Amino acid sequence: MGENQYGKESVMENVLKHVIEKIDAASVQDYLDGYPYLSIPNIFPQDYYEELVSILKGIDDGVFHPLSKNYQRRDVYDLYCGENAMAPKQNFSNLKEGESAFLKNFQETFLIKNDFKMAFFRKYKNHMDFPDYDAALPTCRVQRDHRGYSIGPHRDRRDKLFSVMIYTPTIDKEELTEELKIDHGTDICILNHENPTTAPQLPGQVGHGADRHFTYDEVTIVKTAPSEPNSLFSWAVAEKSFHGVSPLKSDMVRSTLAYFVKIPKHLMPQHKLYGSSEFKTRK
C-alpha cells in the first residue's frame, strides 16, 4: 500500500481499530510484585508496519538530536509536543514530503485523538491510581540507539503514568538474529535493594532517590522483552517497574518508537504507585 493510502481517513480508522483491538485483547502481566506490563505482538497491521519502518529508516540523521548529556548514544526525533508535552506541536517541516505526510497521519491518529491513550487507561485500570485522565498528555518520539548505549534500571518518575515501547528494527530481516533481538530489547528487572529510596548513592547511578537510574550490579534481570518487529512492550509506572537497556553490543542501530503519558509535575503527588501502601484501585 502506498503512503498516500494512509492519508485516507477510512484507512487510518482501520489501522487504529486493529491497534485498539490488540490492546483490548491483551492481558496485563502482574506476576511480578508491583510490576504490571503488557507484551503485544503484531501491534500494527503488517502493511502499515512495513510502511512505517520504511519511513523511519529514511529519516535523515540530521533531524535527530541526543536525548541528553547523560545519554549521548541515543538520538531522538519528536513526533508531537516534546518530552514534557509543552513544546509546539511537531509540524514535520524538516522531513521529506512523503515522510511528513505519513507521520502527520500517525500524529493525528495516535497522538491527537484519545483512542490510543484511553485504551491503555482501560487496560491498566486496576494498576493505576490517578484521578484525572484528562490532565495526562501523550508524548512520542523516534529513537535511534547506537553501540554502547545503555540506560540504567529505573522505574520511571511519577510524572509518567505509563510507558509504551514499540520495536521497529530497520535492519534487514536476515540480520535480525535472536541474539540481536535480545541485545536491542528492554530488560525487566528486580531491584536488589529492599528500599529504593534509602539505597546507597553509588558511582554510575544517574539521579537521586527512588526514581534514580541504578546500575546493573544492583538488579536481577528477570527477562528481556526482545526487539521483535512490530511488537509492543508497555508498563504502568509502579512501585517496582524497574527496566533498563544493557550496553548495546552491536554496531547496528536499535530503532524504537517511545510513547509516554505524562502529567504536570505539580500533580505528581496525586499519582499513587501500584504496589505501594497508598495505592487504591480506581472506581
Q: What is the pLDDT of residues 149-159, one digit of tens each?
A: 999 999 999 99
Q: Residue 1: its pLDDT value, please? A: 46
For residue 13, the number of C-alpha atoms closer than 13 Å in the C-beta half-sphere is 3
Burial class (CB in 10 A: 0-12, 13-18, 19+), 42: middle
Long-range pairs, 201-210, Cβ under 8 A, ≥24: 204/152, 205/152, 206/70, 206/152, 207/154, 210/155
Cα 84 to Cα 217: distance, rounded to the nearest angstrom: 30
Cα 222 to Cα 188: distance, rounded to the nearest angstrom: 6
Q: Residue 30: its pLDDT value, please? A: 87
Angle formed at CA 157 by CA 223 and CA 139, multiple of 5 degrees: 90
Cα 44 to Cα 49: distance, rounded to the nearest angstrom: 6
Q: Residue 152: its pLDDT value, please? A: 97
Cα 231 to Cα 225: distance, rounded to the nearest angstrom: 10
Q: Which portions of the chain are predicted below pLDDT 70?
A: 1-4, 283
